[in-house]
Structure 1
Amino acid sequence: MSSQIPLEHVPHPYEVNNKPFYIHKTTQDVQIPTGKLAPLRTLDELKAAVQTTEIYILPIPAKSVNSVLNSLRELLPESHPLQHLRRLVKPSFLPVSVAEKIPPIATTKSAVMYMLVCPTEAIALPGLQSFLSALPVFTEDGAEGPQISIIPVPSCQPISAAQAQEWSEKYWPTVYKRGNPYGPHPAIVENAANKLGRAGEYIQLARSAGAAVADLDIGEPFGCVIVNPETGEVVAAAGDGRCKGDKEWGNPLNHAVMRAVAMVAQKRLETGEEVMPNNPCRPLTELERVYFEAKTTTTTTTITPFELVETAETAENEENGENGEGYLCHNMHVYLSHEPCVMCAMALLHSRVGVVVFGQKVPKTGALMAEGEDGEGTGYGLFWRRELNWKFLCWQWVDELHEKIKEGISV
């Protein structure tokens, strides 16, 4: 079987890193499609967005706020657990949905504030009612008893100013503290995205790598490109290789990601010895050969812009001075034509890549989207999970070039 792409399939030359590659014959224009980077949300971010808890609220005269707060601290000595929610709110700032559900204020003789008392799980309603009814503010002549209401509120911190605003309008005035305990810090995501100016080029190269193997009936039209972020060099480009045509059995593990990582390993070995003797790493197309034979820097010195989850393994590695040098693709950037499967996503994690950008979502078998089936994903979110000892930043590249995925195919 020839490893050359038929000439009629490569009429449009294009260059990345001063090396030629070719746009697939079905692409009408060699121009890189205009697109945008859409950051993926983590599994914890999605859970935080929908988890609510119930709280007690009540109106009190503004002049009595401090005395009531001091009394509540005696009853509930633990600190206020919902620090992202305003403790005191003027009636005019209540969300419309809340104002419509709670009873009207019994008296308007003085200015009134609504107070967030505590979560309902902290104390039973009869006990709270009894305690508040005994306070001077509710026992003075002509004073009404405490008007306690129960409303749902978000139990987790917001991950953005936009989400805080949304919750303020829907649940209760919410504060965003410019942090994200459920995923990468927004500043890290923004800074990293600003450095991905050539994402469209690399995604198009990954698509071309997939198209090349598909034209030769070697594999499905899925491609992977691994880039050194310090130099912009393409270290490896690989298409899917699990078919190998009608006359030769393929390896079902030869997904594009697995082959690209193997190419990096082979280039780093530099001894002529096979990384995988039973499954030799060989370029299957001319496009793959260009980058496989190119002299590129296969290691990085870049420090990951977010902390690792501290484990015995990471602590031992740091103590031994490895600092990522023993990992095949440490902090490399990976560009994929399609969302990878669980096997490939875990291979990227174990190779300790820094960034992954993929083109097309794969709802049935993709492993990076944290949304479940209703959100067009498997719900794994493997790029950022608390229980894993490595994380990487992840985006989808969104443009007009999308294809229908064959049913049952893992990328």
Structure 2
Amino acid sequence: MSAPAPLVGSLVPLRTKDEVRASLETHSVYVVEVPAKFANVVKDVVQAAIPDFKTSEISHLRRVVQFKYLPPHLQKQFYPPARLPRVRYFLLCPTRYIQHADLFSIIRQCPPFDGKTVPPRIFYVMVPSLAPISAEQAAQWSDDYWPISYKNTNPYGPHPSLVQRNTDEIEGEAGTWLALANTAGKQISAQCLGEQIGVVVVDRTKNGPEIIAVAGDCRWRSPTGTSELHTGTGNVMAHAVHRAIAMVAKKRLRVGGTDPAYLDRSLFCDSPLTEVEKKYYEKDNITSSGYLCVDLDIYLTNEPCVMCSMAILHSRFRRCVFAKRMPRTGGMTSDGVGDLPFPESGLKHGLFWRPSELNWKFLAWEFNEEGKDAGTGASINETLHV
């Protein structure tokens, strides 16, 4: 059997639920026009008046900005600057902490506005509520909202340097494994045992990548091995992900000296059935020790459903790559895709990275194949659980 031609494309890291939230949430803040030398005086007086306000809430925003560094839409809003020496625009606090009239009264008592006929100019400005997750996002927000202070980190997901390092490591070979996953899906589908969905499990902890398991979907295979009518959901325990995980477990048993038939269960269809599945299942290229799929990567033709996403998580995979997004059923992504037929759809669970709620996390990417729009690909029903 000759190797299939690798798919050509690029990896797009998935955003976590908190990253999506950070990119969408904004709130209103007060900005006052004040000479630079009086900015601290104004800040201290306002802070004393609203003790519940913590400056950490706006630590991602630059507090004092010159007119020339404001985004264009704010320059139009603030123009012309007041006739004050070295005027600056000072971000005070979110508007929910104090009424405009009360804030105006407080600042009116501070120099240079105390006893002067020129009143302070206080503006409402919409800003991102949370810190940016990348330098690119910080630059965009600086143009769209208010100058941002980016601290070269990501408080809502994996650090950008970690994502980039892992992307660089696997991007060159991702198309190879996804092409093999396609082959697995085609061979199963040709036998009418399952949908055209496939999975490849890879070990990259050794000198070179090792294929540990290849599995296709088997939801339409009966306990006796025959093809069933393609109605309903079929055997949900025979999804490609479950079959691949079971094959990894059986290989570990075999290498450890235990008969893998000990795990044979017709419900899980956990024995290799096609040429490509048998080829890699028969290789003793995994150690007997270790927690199931720790340090292994999984490549899928389609975004896994919620059940399979949780199986990937609980099996302790290291990384996950899928080729076709499943907006109606997928459990990995956290955001919707505006150019799909159902732009409002998407479960948005983001199950790959929810460390405050789940006991494992891993990196995940969507593979964008050249010549295909994101989310399109194999003729799989959008409502199918993969």
TM-score normalised by the shorter chain: which range applies?
0.7 to 0.9
Q: Is structure 2 residue 359 aligned with structure 1 residue 389?
A: yes
Is contact 1:207–1:221 with CA below 8 Å preserved after alignment?
yes
Is contact 1:235–1:298 with CA below 8 Å preserved after alignment?
no
Name the CA distance, whole Å, in 2 between partners of 1:212 and 1:376: 31
- What is residue 125 of structure 2 aligned with on the other side? 151
- Residue 140 of structure 1: CA displacement? 4.2
- Residue 100 of structure 1: CA displacement? 2.9
- What is residue 85 of structure 2 aligned with on the other side? 110
Deviations 1:158-211 (A, max 9, x none): 001111111111111011111111111001001111210311111111111111
> Structure 1, unaligned stretches of length 5 or more?
1-9, 15-22, 24-30, 301-324
Q: Secondary structure at the match of 1:174?
A: coil
Is contact 2:193–2:227 with CA below 8 Å preserved after alignment?
no
Deviations 1:267-299 (A, max 9, x none): 112211422435352111011001111111147
Q: AA paired with 1:379?
A: K
- What is residue 58 of structure 1 aligned with on the other side? 32
Name the CA distance, whole Å, in 1 between partners of 2:367 and 2:282: 28
- What is residue 331 of structure 1 aligned with on the other side? 295
Which of 34, 37, 41 lines up with 1:67 in the alignment?
41
Q: 1:351 to 1:63 in 2, by over 3 A?
A: same
Q: Is structure 2 residue 369 aligned with structure 1 residue 399?
A: yes
Q: Is structure 2 residue 271 aligned with structure 1 residue 296?
A: no
Q: Is structure 2 residue 232 aligned with structure 1 residue 268?
A: no
- What is residue 236 of structure 1 aligned with on the other side? 213
- What is residue 342 of structure 1 aligned with on the other side? 306
Deviations 1:237-275 (A, max 9, x none): 000011128944463320000000000111112211422
Q: AA paired with 2:184?
A: A
Q: TM-score, normalised to structure 1's length?
A: 0.82
Q: Is structure 2 residue 119 aligned with structure 1 residue 131?
A: no
Name the CA distance, whole Å, in 2 between partners of 1:252 and 1:116: 55
Which of 169, 194, 201 lines up with 2:143 in the alignment?
169
Q: Is structure 2 residue 229 aligned with structure 1 residue 252?
A: no
Q: TM-score, normalised to structure 2's length?
A: 0.87
Name the CA distance, whole Å, in 2 between partners of 1:256 and 1:365: 15
- What is residue 16 of structure 2 aligned with on the other side? 42
Is contact 1:299–1:329 with CA below 8 Å preserved after alignment?
no
Q: 1:375 to 1:204 in 2, by over 3 A?
A: farther
Q: AA paired with 1:374?
A: P
Identity of aligned residues (%): 40
Name the CA distance, whole Å, in 2 between partners of 1:406 and 1:338: 11
Which of 172, 184, 190 lines up with 2:164 in the alignment?
190
- Residue 151 of structure 1: CA displacement? 1.4
Is contact 2:14–2:366 with CA below 8 Å preserved after alignment?
yes
- What is residue 231 of structure 2 aligned with on the other side? none
Q: Secondary structure at the match of 1:274?
A: helix
Name the CA distance, whole Å, in 2 between partners of 1:405 and 1:364: 12
Q: Secondary structure at the match of 1:139?
A: coil
Q: 1:407 to 1:47 in 2, by over 3 A?
A: closer
Is contact 1:205–1:225 with CA below 8 Å preserved after alignment?
yes
Name the CA distance, whole Å, in 1 between partners of 2:98 and 2:264: 63
Is contact 1:86–1:174 with CA below 8 Å preserved after alignment?
yes
- What is residue 284 of structure 1 aligned with on the other side? 273
**Count of paired positions:** 358
Name the CA distance, whole Å, in 1 between partners of 2:350 and 2:381: 22
Q: 1:109 to 1:348 in 2, by over 3 A?
A: closer
Is contact 1:299–1:330 with CA below 8 Å preserved after alignment?
no
- Residue 33 of structure 1: CA displacement? 2.8
Q: Secondary structure at the match of 1:183?
A: coil
